Amino acid sequence: MDNRAVSDLLDLIGKGTSPYHVVAAAANRLESAEFRRLDLRDKWKIRRGGAYYFNVFGSTFVAFRVGDVDGPIRLATAHTDFPCLRVKPAPEVRTHGYGKVNIEVYGGMIRESWLDRPLAIAGKVALRTADPFSPDVRLVDTNRPLLTIPRLAIHMNPAVNKGVELNPQKDMLPLMTMTGKQADEAYFLPCLAEAADCQADDILSYDLTVYPWETGCLCGAKNEFISSPRLDNLTSVAACLAGILDVDTNDASKEALSGLRMIALFDNEEVGSRTKQGAASLVLPQILRRIYRALGCDDETFDRQIAGGFCLSLDVAHALHPNAPEKNDVTNFPVLNGGVVLKTACSQSYAGDAEAVAVIRSLCDVNGIPCQQFVNRSDMRGGSTLGSILSANLPMRTMDAGAPILAMHSARETMGCSDQNAMDALVKAFLR
């Protein structure tokens, strides 16, 4: 099997330790393929055949290639965020000689899975400058295990194997140090300042993610699985990057590009998407309209292209669990290494209608890409993703799809290696 897709995914997971780092890694990869950065605050000069990207408020990433404006719009989306702990302001909590870190919970994490693991911190810090409206913003990653949340011993909690409720304010505070005799000496900001290479006094603010320090690995008798943090949803981010890189407008052996090919990787999916950089934001419709204006298109032409466009919204799906098969639907149950999953729900928690399913199934058939379908058990609510939210502001046919995984929202999730190849192949075929 070609394992390029898997090694690219593991590389992205290693680098993508916060949404800001996911965006930075995406920008690095595309810059080496000569994508040019555009800024939302500037007036743009866009040339047909060109390749461009935006960093939207640091944690959302949009990249596109554009050819003839009369051709179709194809958009592949994913999300850059993942359930985690976030560090609060005034983070030091001292008790009995222990120095802990005050956190809040971001997204629907499986709290128990974060215990007894080495944890590190990544994100951004905003530093004081002479101009209050322009703080110096730096990415920071401690890159070493700095924290841990120890479990209570079984002797102190004999019922632990029957399941334990964890209170996020009491039970989830990571241990960082022993304060010992210097009980007043700060321990958090000096450590952060060292990682950010700045003075602690200059740190005005930060957005910091606590992440599992151990990265992903292969496992299984034939190395057929990936066990890793952040598979939700870096599996889809990796596929989107592979897809847009494959659309090469300068390759003479390929046909000239007709229309627009775009990827949009949004922050804040795990908390509902209703933010300035989330999928419910007007930022993507604005970007699209401005691209078409910059190419000399009128509004009517633009609206016609939106109406005829297609969005492939990529996020992970629940594979059938080997020890709990009864949790999935009785006839629509994806399994690991069974291929890309098409997700539908009559509640529209997943976007997709008969035509959208038909288009993607047909695309898979023509390109020899395995695919399977997911529908919730009728007595379970299930999850949702950004497809329906995005398409409400950007009315085009939209299909939710993604890789089947186990243990979604655990500190470590499991997926099949060949499903990453199927994801890459689908996004490449879709954006071609």
Task: Closer to Zn ion by CB, 267 or 315: give it.
Answer: 315
Instruction: For residue 278, give every residue at least 6 positions away whose Cβ sits within 8 Å of its Cβ, in sequence order, or none.
Output: 60, 266, 267, 268, 269, 272, 386, 389
Q: Is 354 exposed, middle or buried (0-12, 13-18, 19+ CB in 10 A)?
A: exposed
User: Least distance from C-beta 402 to Zn ion, angstroms?
Assistant: 8
Minimum Å distance from CB 223 to Zn ion? 25
Cα–Cα distance for residue pair 114/109, rounded to 1 Å: 9
By C-beta, is 15 or 79 nearer to Zn ion?
A: 79
Given the complex with Zn ion, which of 233 and 305 has the nearer CB atom?
233
Residue 8 or 269: the one with the smaller Cβ distance to Zn ion is 269
- Residue from 56, 54, 72 nearest 64 by CA: 54
The contact set with Zn ion (CB under 5 A) reads 232-233, 315
For Zn ion, give the closer residue by CB, 289 or 321.
321
Smallest gap from residue 152 Cβ to Zn ion (A): 31
DSSP state for residue 147 in the 8-state scheme? B
**Cα–Cα dist 50/33, whole Å:** 12
Closer residue to Zn ion (CB): 91 or 387:
387
CB of 398 to Zn ion, least distance (A): 16
Output the smallest distance, CB 316 to Zn ion, in A. 5
Give the closest residue to 431 by CA, choosing from 257, 222, 305: 257
Minimum CB separation from Zn ion for residue 107, in Å? 9
Q: What whole-number distance in Å separates Cα of residue 58 and Cα of residue 267?
A: 9
305-316 burial by CB neighbour count: b if 16+ within 10 A, else e? bbeebbbbbbbb
DSSP string covering 188-219 = HHHHHHHHHTS-GGGEEEEEEEEEESS--EEE
